[in-house]
């Protein structure tokens, strides 16, 4: 039983690190994008493009935030 519990804890930690990583704002924006897409689709508005657009935009934002201080000075 202890092995199952430790496996479950390890899986939960992995999923938390995988989803939130080091930038929880990206995960939050994607989650909100999924909710907005669901709401738009339920109102008969085609919104398939919203999540990919947010993913591309947030990748750029995340990369911009993690630049080294030396590259910002140039």
Residue 72 pLDDT: 56
**Is residue 60 in a domain?**
yes
**Is residue 67 in a domain?**
yes
Its domain, for residue 44, covers 22-73
Residue 74 pLDDT: 54
Alpha-carbon distance of 65 to 12, in angstroms, equals: 27
**Is residue 1 in a domain?**
no
**Is residue 44 in a domain?**
yes
**Is residue 29 in a domain?**
yes
Residue 32 pLDDT: 96
Q: Are 33 and 51 in contact (CB under 8 A)?
A: yes
Instruction: Determine the 3-state secondary structure of 53 from DSSP.
Output: helix
**Is residue 53 in a domain?**
yes
**Is residue 15 in a domain?**
no
Q: Are 58 and 26 in contact (CB under 8 A)?
A: yes
Residue 52 pLDDT: 96
Would you give per-residue pLDDT tens digits along the chain (74 residues)? 788 899 999 999 998 888 777 778 888 999 999 999 999 999 999 999 999 999 999 999 988 988 867 655 55
Q: What is the count of structural domains for the chain?
A: 1
Q: Say what the pTM is.
A: 0.68
């Amino acid at each position: 039983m202890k092995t199952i519990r430790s496996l479950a804890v390890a899986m939960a930690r992995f999923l938390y690190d995988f989803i939130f990583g080091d930038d929880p704002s990206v995960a939050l924006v994607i989650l909100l994008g999924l909710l907005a897409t669901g709401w738009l689709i339920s109102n008969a508005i085609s919104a398939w493009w919203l999540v990919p657009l947010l993913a591309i935009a947030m990748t750029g934002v995340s990369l911009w935030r993690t630049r080294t201080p030396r590259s910002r000075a140039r």
